[in-house]
Every structure is written in C-alpha cells, then in structure tokens.
C-alpha cells in the first residue's frame, strides 16, 4: 500500500526555541511512516512583517538548518520554501474565487489577532491577512496531503481547508482528499518567567543556545517564591524548573519533588541539575548544527533539491485543477 502523505510548515521567524523541539521531534518520527513535505512558509511571514522583509530569506536558511540538525532528513522528506513553488499562489487565487468571504471572516483567530496587533500599534487589516488560512489551504491541498501535523491553535485553519476541498470537489470534480489534523502531543513549556514562551518576551530558550546563554536562562527560571532559605519546604507545582525537570529529567523527577517539599535541596542545586539535563539533550544537537553549517551551501542545495520534488507534485495537482475547472 502507498504511504500516506504528510505536509507541514512553519513561518520563518528566526532561530527556534525548545518549545519547537517537540514539534520537530514529532516531524522526525513521522518520516518513518509517511511521505513527508516540510516547508518554510515565507509568504505567510509577510502577513505580519510586510514592512520589514529584510530577514525573511536569512530566517528560512537558519530555520531549515535547525530542522536538519534536529534530524529532518532530506533523503526521505521533501524540504522546501513556499515562495519557490509559484503553484501555491495560483491555487490560492483560484480558491479565492470560490470561497465565501464569510468563511474567512468567521475564522476564530482572525478578529482576535487583528485586535491583538492593533494593541501593539500594528495594523494588519490587509487582504493577505484575511486570506492567510486560504493560502494555508492551498499549501496543503496542492500536495494532496492526507494529514497535517499541527498544534491545537491551527485546528480552525485545517477545518477551513477541509471545507474548501469539499466545496471544490463538489463544484467541479473530486481532486482533493480532505486532510485530517494529526494533533501532536506538543509539550507546552512555559518561558523562564512562567509566561507563554515567546521571543518577544525574551523568555525563550534557544535549541542551539550556547552553554553560557543556557546557564543564564536556567538561572532566570522562576522558582517557588515562598522559599526564602534553602531548607524552607518548597512547592514544586508552582516552579518553572520543576516543569522542565518533568520533561527533561523524568527519571530524577520523583526524587527532586520529594527533596524540594522537605527542604532538602536548594534551588541553586536544583537548577544546576536542570542545566545538566538540558545540556545533555542540546549539546549533540549543537554539534550536528555545526557540522551542517561547516558544509557551505548545503542548506541551499537541500532547498533547491526539495523545490524540484515539490514542484513536480504541485504542477501535477494544478494540471488536475485546471482540467476540473476547464481553464
Ligand atoms: N499557519 C502555520 C503556523 O503559523 C504555518 C503554516 C502555513 C502551515 N501553511 C501551513 C502549517 C500548512 C501546516 C500546513 O504555524
Ligand atoms: Fe523549584 Fe527545584 Fe527550587 Fe523546588 S528546589 S522550588 S523544584 S527549583
């Protein structure tokens, strides 16, 4: 039986943080079972940074370097940049003719995000921003993907994608499968200050942070504020370090909790253990990344090769679409 086909993408926002690591590990696992397409959504990055585009190209290269270092394998998966495949834009245009405006206006994230950006003094009331989920539908359907690994926040976009596929198939002829969402068990790690992890809060930990930065970030993690002296009994459930231990030091977790509650371990020592656990995981990734960056031009080659393979599939879909629409 043919393998199922997976597609997923990320906007190139620069270096990745460890919140992305579980997403990438999931992609890496999916490579074993599926034909995978992974791409840098650089046109999507324009929706919020159309005034300041200077870093988009470089960010794609950095992000894809990170992907390769974590273990995405260009021999097995098609790794490419959205803007290299113009067919996404053609399909998006054709879809824009058949989608009712109300479908886009009612996407729950739309009004929220416009509001959020407005509060930051940014106006994103653009045509492109409204159309973001439709371009995403084109990204997915152009490869006739069966499933899309996404986080929960993307479910409304995937639902819209399925509706567009259904409408097209019904109106013309059945070209598109209705892709399902593969909800990944993404571990939601807080930032070091216990807010949502985000580069804009500077509370994130880079996957490829060097040893000094890593130490600084671990030191900045918020612990139980009720502990003043190191033998005060602690409450691990309110502590960021504890949340990280639960993911990165699972075998030591029970012991740490117990010692914390009894006031037998100080936060400084506890953070030192955290730093060691993180470094054990991140050091080999850093090494892999260095090997990759030492091969000059390698990432560009991967993307060029990926574009060739992606284009082959995308142009076949467009042939079917044009035939179905008789244009
Ligand atoms: N919207 C996605 C995000 O912000 C990125 C994206 C664009 C995507 N096109 C996609 C994800 C297609 C999956 C499939 O994370
Ligand atoms: Fe957090 Fe560890 Fe301090 Fe307990 S001992 S509060 S788990 S850092």
Percent of the chain whose pLDDT exceeds 90: 80
Residue whose CA is at the smallest distance from ligand 1 atom 15: 10
Identify the helix (H) or strand (E) that includes residue 9.
strand 5-10
The stretches of the chain forming alpha helices (DSSP H) are 18-33, 42-49, 56-70, 87-98, 101-105, 108-119, 127-141, 155-171, 211-219, 240-248, 253-261, 267-294, 298-325
CATH number at residue 122: 3.40.50.620
pLDDT at position 43 over 90: yes
Atom of ligand 1 at shortest range from CA of 149: 13
Ligand 2 geometric centre to CA of 22 (Å): 24
Ligand 1 geometric centre to CA of 11 (Å): 7
Do residues 147 and 136 lie in contact, with contact meaning Cβ atoms separated by under 8 Å?
no
Is 177 found in the same domain as 69?
yes
Is 22 found in the same domain as 153?
yes
Residue whose CA is at the smallest distance from ligand 1 atom 5: 10
Of 134, 148, 49, 50, the closest CA to residue 90 belongs to: 134
pLDDT at position 204 over 80: yes
The total number of structural domains that make up the chain: 2
pLDDT tens figures, 140-199: 999 999 999 998 889 999 999 999 999 999 999 999 999 999 987 767 789 999 998 888
Token pair belonging to 140: 């997915």
Do residues 318 and 87 lie in contact, with contact meaning Cβ atoms separated by under 8 Å?
yes
Ligand 2 geometric centre to CA of 184 (Å): 29
Identify the helix (H) or strand (E) that includes residue 188.
none
For the chain, the straight-line distance linking the first and the last C-alpha, in angstroms and rounded, comes to: 33
The band of 1, judged by pLDDT with boundaries at 50, 70 and 90, is low
Question: How far, CA to CA in Å, does 44 sit from each of 16, 53, 116, 228?
Answer: 17, 12, 18, 47
Q: Is residue 157 part of a domain?
A: yes
pLDDT tens figures, 84-131: 999 999 999 999 999 999 999 999 888 888 888 888 877 778 899 999
pLDDT (mean) for 270-280: 94
- Which domain, by its residues, includes 54? 4-188+296-325
Do residues 35 and 146 lie in contact, with contact meaning Cβ atoms separated by under 8 Å?
no
Ligand 1 geometric centre to CA of 8 (Å): 6
Is 203 found in the same domain as 171?
no
Atom of ligand 1 at shortest range from CA of 133: 1
């Amino acid at each position: 039986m043919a393998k199922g086909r997976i597609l997923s993408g990320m906007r190139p926002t620069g270096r990745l943080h460890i919140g992305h690591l579980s997403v990438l590990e999931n992609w890496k696992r999916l490579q074993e079972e599926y034909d995978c397409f992974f791409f840098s959504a650089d046109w999507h990055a324009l929706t919020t940074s159309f005034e300041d585009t200077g870093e988009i190209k470089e960010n794609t290269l950095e992000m894809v370097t990170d992907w390769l270092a974590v273990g995405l394998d260009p021999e097995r998966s098609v790794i490419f940049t959205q803007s290299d495949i113009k067919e996404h834009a053609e399909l998006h245009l054709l879809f824009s003719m058949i989608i009712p405006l109300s479908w886009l206006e009612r996407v729950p994230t739309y009004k929220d995000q416009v509001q959020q950006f407005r509060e930051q003094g940014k106006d994103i009331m653009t045509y492109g921003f409204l159309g973001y989920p439709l371009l995403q539908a084109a990204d997915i359907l152009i490869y006739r993907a069966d499933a899309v690994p996404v986080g929960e926040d993307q479910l409304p976009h995937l639902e819209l994608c399925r509706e567009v596929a259904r409408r097209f198939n019904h109106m013309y002829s059945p070209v598109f499968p209705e892709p399902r969402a593969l909800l990944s068990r993404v571990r939601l790690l807080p930032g070091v200050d216990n807010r949502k992890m985000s580069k804009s809060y500077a509370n994130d930990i880079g996957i490829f942070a060097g040893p000094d930065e890593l130490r600084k970030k671990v030191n900045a993690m918020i612990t139980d504020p009720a502990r003043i002296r190191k033998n005060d009994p602690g409450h691990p459930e309110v502590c960021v370090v504890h949340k990280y231990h639960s993911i990165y030091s699972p075998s030591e977790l029970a012991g740490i909790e117990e010692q914390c509650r009894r006031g037998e371990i100080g936060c400084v020592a506890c953070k030192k253990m955290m730093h060691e656990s993180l470094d054990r995981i991140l050091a080999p990734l850093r090494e892999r990344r260095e090997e990759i960056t030492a091969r000059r031009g390698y990432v560009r080659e991967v993307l060029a090769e990926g574009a060739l393979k992606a284009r082959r599939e995308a142009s076949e879909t467009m042939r079917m679409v044009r035939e179905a629409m008789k244009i």
